[in-house]
């Protein structure tokens, strides 16, 4: 039959197989099958190195049978066939052999005789110290099985290995693919790559590439086909982002040019420090963009303590000077309250108290709006926002609720971007006739290509230097396995710190008491940088806040020191109280979860002890330690681990101890991660949205595609002359995938 890409797979390969493909692989049409790309390729005649097989994973391998034996089972009815295969003919023992066990494998015992070469597929297990596949499925590859013509045709061709399931092994997929390739008119496959770009990079057409990736004549073919699809993927994504950016930039917004003699000038005059060069540069960019009649859309990256808040505050004042309002969104109530307090403190005499009422140029009213405020407090803040009385409104998600109205919202600042999706951004934008300017701040350094992919619709600024006078943080790994006595030493060290008038954070991976928790997920965005997803299942129970607090209460070295507790499950009141006592210096030691990661600012804290530090990701450890050494006193961070020296997770700790450069660590972090984690796919349980493209490996492809996409969109904003690319984007942006684009 002739088939289209949209033809149901069942009509091409038969109803029964079609149903299986749909159920097992989610593949329903001929086109979807064509898009199911091989994971890798085996060289024909080349046996798979058995010693490299990953334990406990599904594998497809090629091997030769060296022996086979069948015996009756003693305790149950039936027989066991044990087949020994090897990647080296003649080898019957050692790491190059693998044992295959078949229960009642009559057929296997007949077919898998000494010397036979076959492809096997199954999950790698272990039995009596030897790698084993139980009831693997297999496909004979013996040349004698094929007629001469078929053998000659196949000789030298790479064998594709597809992502497969037990019910549909790779070779079944390959056969179905052959049928589909024969049935579908490939010349009708839409060509989403513009001809010009295909020529520029010497890439094959879509039709050629499908053939080359599924039935390559040689390795060169599948490589070039992969290149094409990778570039295509990057281009589709970058064009979507470029369009989004262009459309957004074309919206009207309220221009707020800087005004001389206003609050911003007064604020600058009163600043107790010099702005860093970076703060000045970014400040100029923001000042310019705020004065434009189209919305700013900018991501500001900078390490914890690099002075982002001051930069944001200056932008807010520019808008307030022009009679507009600014909103600051924080991810948690703790942070919102802190921002509120620190903005008021930083503004000092420029704060106008709301209760006095009356307008005037004498200052700016700052309002706070969070979910847990009393009805009266809320009402006051809502009124201040709606009437325009409050120039700056700080809040949590509560700000997004539909009851909240602004008189003239000109700028939205989002702190710690990962909490706010685009719908939320849009919710805030909807509160204003003109599109407000947007500034997103993040303390997580994001490598360039990730930023291009995940935040591709935002312009990016970076604050690289820390303000002068910031003390460096010394970080040490403390391995309790090799040095059990150091546990004692840690608490003595904490004591010394408190005796010297300083304070100590103790961070634990879980909350404890009540169990079943996976850490402070309500407070911590594991999707972006969290390390908990990284940690392999460990036999050790992760240390909890409640246990640790209990233990420290009776720790002799800490006798007489108040130990506080902070985590996301405390009610707002208790959280605020814990923070207050610690900020006031009443609590010497604060045992907490990662709630302290984002923005908690107690300059007097100089020591951070992170227990079971191996449970955290690199970027997260880096963020956490940024909480100490903020007050001009040198900070120390101890990464405590109970893992054996040489354990792979300890490498991350060594990396953090060895560098204080957030960007270097972020790059490093990526290398430890799986792609899906980078894009947050693991969180939602979906597969990575990217098929062949890898953000880390394919940075240059992404960068090139971005250039091309910008040109393309500048030249043809509605993609009228590129309908197939437009269709590919629509396809790519189906609702499932949109989530990924819209993490900004």
Residues of this chain that bind Mg ion (CB under 5 A): 309, 599
The option from ligand ADP, Mg ion, none interacting with 302 (CB < 5 to 8 A, set by class) reads ligand ADP
The minimum distance between CB 272 and ligand ADP, in angstroms, equals 8
- Compare residues 283 and 599 and give the one whose CB is closer to Mg ion: 599
CA atoms of 82 and 99, how far apart (whole Å): 7
| Shortest distance, position 133 Cβ to ligand ADP, whole Å | 52
Contact of residue 627 among ligand ADP, Mg ion, none (CB under 5-8 Å per partner type):
none
Report the residue number, 177 or 583, with the smaller CB distance to Mg ion: 583
DSSP letters along 227-275, please? Answer: HHHHHHHHHHHHHHHHHHHHHHHTS--------TTSHHHHHHHH-SSPP
Radius of gyration of the chain (CA): 31
Least distance from ligand ADP to the Cβ atom of residue 633, Å: 14
List residues near ligand ADP by CB under 6 A: 273-276, 279, 302, 304-310, 443, 467
Please tell me whether residue 442 adopts helix, strand or coil conformation.
strand
Least separation in angstroms between residue 312's CB and Mg ion is 9
- What's the Cα-to-Cα distance from 667 to each of 84, 547, 662, rounded to whole Å? 43, 34, 9
At closest approach, how far in Å is the CB of 302 from ligand ADP?
A: 5
- 139 DSSP β-pair partners: 119
Q: State the binding partner of 467 from ligand ADP, Mg ion, none, CB within 5 to 8 A by kind.
A: ligand ADP
Query: What is the spatial distance between Cα 533 and Cα 539, in angstroms, rounded to a whole number?
Result: 16
Q: Which does 29 bind (CB under 5 to 8 A by kind): Mg ion, ligand ADP, none?
A: none
Cβ nearer to Mg ion, comparing 343 with 609: 343
- 331: which 2 tokens? 């991810």
CB 599 → Mg ion: shortest distance, Å? 5
Spatial distance between the Cα atoms of 713 and 121, rounded to a whole number of angstroms: 46
Specify the residue, 201 or 663, whose C-beta has the smaller distance to ligand ADP: 663
**Choosing among ligand ADP, Mg ion, none, which partner's interface includes residue 286 (Cβ < 5 to 8 Å by kind)?**
none
Give the one entry of Mg ion, ligand ADP, none that residue 273 binds, where binding means its C-beta sits below a cut-off of 5 to 8 angstroms depending on kind: ligand ADP
CB of 469 to Mg ion, least distance (A): 17
Minimum Å distance from CB 466 to ligand ADP?
Answer: 8
- 528, 590 Cβ separation under 8 angstroms: no
Cα 512 from Cα 105, distance rounded (Å) = 49
The count of C-alpha atoms lying within 13 angstroms of the C-alpha of 148, restricted to the half-sphere facing its C-beta, is 0
Beta bridge partners, 137, equal: 121
Which listed option, Mg ion, ligand ADP, none, makes contact with residue 521 (CB within 5 to 8 Å by class)? none
Q: Report what 276 binds from ligand ADP, Mg ion, none; CB cut-off 5-8 Å by kind.
A: ligand ADP
Residue 159: beta bridge partners? 42
The residue among 391, 384, 382 whose CA lies nearest residue 360 is 391
Q: Closest CB to Mg ion among 608 and 695?
A: 608
Q: Which partner from the list Mg ion, ligand ADP, none does 496 bind, CB cut-off 5 to 8 Å by kind?
A: none
Report the C-alpha gap between 312 and 449 in whole angstroms.
25
In angstroms, the CA 591 to CA 544 distance is 9
Q: Please identify, using beta-carbon distances, which residue of 103 and 273 lies nearer to ligand ADP.
A: 273
Please identify, using beta-carbon distances, which residue of 63 and 595 lies nearer to ligand ADP. 595
H helices present in 626-734, as ranges: 648-658, 662-672, 675-678, 681-684, 699-715, 723-732
Judged by beta carbon, residue 307 or residue 479, the one nearer ligand ADP is 307
Distance of CA 340 to the CA centre of its chain: 29
Q: Which does 307 bind (CB under 5 to 8 A by kind): ligand ADP, Mg ion, none?
A: ligand ADP
Name, in order, each residue with C-beta under 8 angstroms of 542's C-beta and a sequence gap of 6 or more: 508, 509, 510, 519, 612, 615
Rounded Cα distance, 106 and 70, in Å: 9
Structure tokens at 381: 């803040």
Closest C-alpha to 347, from 370, 331, 322, 366: 366
Partner in contact with 81, chosen from ligand ADP, Mg ion, none, beta carbon below 5 to 8 Å by kind? none
Pick between residue 174 and residue 413 the one whose CB is nearest to Mg ion.
413
Q: Which does 310 bind (CB under 5 to 8 A by kind): Mg ion, ligand ADP, none?
A: ligand ADP
Tell me the closest approach of the beta carbon of residue 271 to ligand ADP, in angstroms. 8
Q: Which is nearer to Mg ion, 309 or 532 (CB)?
A: 309
CB of 273 to ligand ADP, least distance (A): 4
Between the two ends of the chain, the Cα-to-Cα distance in Å is 46
Q: How far apart, in whole angstroms, are the C-alpha atoms of residue 372 and residue 198? A: 57
Q: Considering beta carbons, is residue 12 or 304 the nearer one to ligand ADP?
A: 304
User: Could you give the CA distance from residue 298 to residue 437 in angstroms, rounded to a whole number?
Assistant: 9
Closest CB to Mg ion among residues 170, 309: 309
Least Cβ distance, residue 582 to Mg ion (angstroms): 17
Nearest-approach distance from CB 624 to ligand ADP, in angstroms: 13
Alpha carbon distance 284, 264 (integer Å) = 13
The dihedral sign for the CA sequence 559, 560, 561, 562: positive
């Amino acid at each position: 039959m002739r088939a289209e890409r949209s033809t149901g797979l069942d009509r091409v390969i038969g109803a029964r197989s079609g149903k299986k493909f749909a159920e097992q692989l989610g593949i329903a049409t001929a086109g979807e099958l064509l898009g199911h790309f091989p994971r890798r390729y085996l060289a024909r005649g080349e046996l798979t190195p058995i010693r490299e097989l990953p334990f406990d994973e599904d594998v497809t391998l090629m091997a030769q049978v060296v022996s086979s034996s069948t015996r009756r089972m003693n305790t149950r009815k039936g027989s066991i066939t044990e087949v020994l295969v090897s990647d080296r003919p003649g080898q019957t023992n050692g790491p190059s052999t693998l044992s295959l066990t078949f229960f009642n494998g009559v057929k296997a015992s007949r077919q898998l005789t000494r010397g036979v070469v076959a492809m096997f597929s199954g999950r790698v297990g272990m039995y009596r110290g030897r790698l084993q596949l139980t009831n693997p499925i297999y496909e004979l590859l013996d040349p004698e099985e094929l007629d001469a013509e078929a053998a000659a045709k196949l000789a030298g061709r790479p064998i594709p290995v597809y992502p497969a399931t037990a019910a549909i092994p790779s070779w079944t997929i390959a056969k179905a693919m052959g049928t589909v390739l024969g049935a579908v008119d490939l010349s009708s496959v839409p060509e989403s790559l513009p001809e010009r770009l295909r020529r520029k990079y010497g890439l094959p057409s879509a039709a050629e590439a499908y053939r080359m990736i599924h039935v390559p004549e040689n390795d060169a073919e599948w490589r070039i086909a992969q290149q094409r699809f990778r570039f295509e993927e990057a281009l589709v994504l970058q064009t979507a982002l470029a369009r989004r950016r262009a459309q957004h930039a074309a919206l009207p917004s309220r221009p707020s040019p800087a005004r001389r003699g206003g609050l911003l000038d007064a604020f600058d005059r009163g600043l107790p420090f010099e702005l860093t060069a970076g703060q000045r540069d970014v400040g100029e960019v923001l000042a310019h963009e705020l004065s434009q009649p189209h919305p700013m859309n900018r991501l500001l990256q900078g390490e914890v303590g690099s002075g982002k808040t001051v930069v944001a505050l200056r932008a807010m004042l520019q808008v307030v000077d022009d009679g507009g309002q600014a909103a600051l969104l924080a991810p948690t109530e703790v942070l919102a309250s802190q921002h509120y307090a620190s903005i008021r403190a930083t503004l000092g005499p420029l704060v106008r108290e709301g209760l006095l009422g009356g307008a005037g140029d004498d200052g700016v009213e700052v309002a706070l709006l969070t979910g847990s405020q009393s009805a009266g407090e809320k009402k006051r803040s809502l009124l201040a926002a709606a009437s325009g009385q409050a120039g700056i409104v700080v809040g949590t998600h509560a700000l997004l609720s539909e009851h909240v109205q602004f008189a003239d919202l000109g700028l939205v600042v989002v702190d710690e971007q990962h909490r706010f999706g685009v719908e939320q951004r849009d919710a805030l934008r909807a509160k204003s006739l003109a599109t407000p300017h947007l500034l997103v701040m993040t303390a997580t350094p994001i490598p360039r290509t990730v930023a291009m992919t995940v935040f591709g619709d935002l312009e990016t600024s970076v604050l690289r230097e820390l303000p002068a006078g910031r003390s460096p943080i010394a970080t040490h790994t403390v391995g309790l396995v090799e040095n059990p006595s150091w546990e004692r030493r840690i608490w003595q060290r904490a004591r010394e710190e408190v005796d010297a008038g300083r304070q100590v954070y103790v961070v634990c991976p879980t909350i404890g008491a009540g169990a079943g928790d996976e850490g402070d997920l309500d407070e911590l965005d594991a999707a972006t940088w969290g390390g908990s997803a990284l940690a392999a299942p460990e036999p050790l129970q992760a240390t909890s806040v409640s246990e640790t607090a209990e233990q420290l209460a009776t720790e002799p070295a800490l006798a007489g020191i108040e130990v506080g507790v902070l985590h996301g499950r405390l009610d707002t009141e208790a959280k605020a109280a814990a923070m207050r006592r610690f900020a006031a210096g009443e609590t010497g030691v604060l045992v907490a979860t990662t709630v302290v990661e984002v923005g908690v600012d107690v300059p007097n804290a100089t020591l951070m002890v992170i227990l079971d530090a191996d449970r955290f990701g690199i970027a997260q450890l880096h963020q956490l330690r940024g909480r100490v050494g903020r007050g001009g006193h040198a900070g120390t961070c101890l990464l405590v681990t109970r893992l054996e020296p040489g354990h792979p997770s300890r490498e991350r700790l060594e990396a953090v101890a060895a560098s204080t450069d957030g960007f270097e660590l972020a790059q490093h972090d990526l290398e430890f991660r799986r792609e899906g984690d980078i894009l947050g796919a693991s969180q939602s349980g979906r597969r990575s949205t990217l098929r062949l493209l890898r953000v880390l490996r394919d940075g240059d492809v992404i960068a090139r595609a971005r250039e091309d996409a910008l040109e393309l969109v500048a030249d043809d904003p509605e993609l009228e002359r590129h309908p197939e690319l437009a269709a590919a984007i629509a396809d790519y942006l189906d609702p499932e995938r949109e989530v990924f684009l819209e993490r900004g």
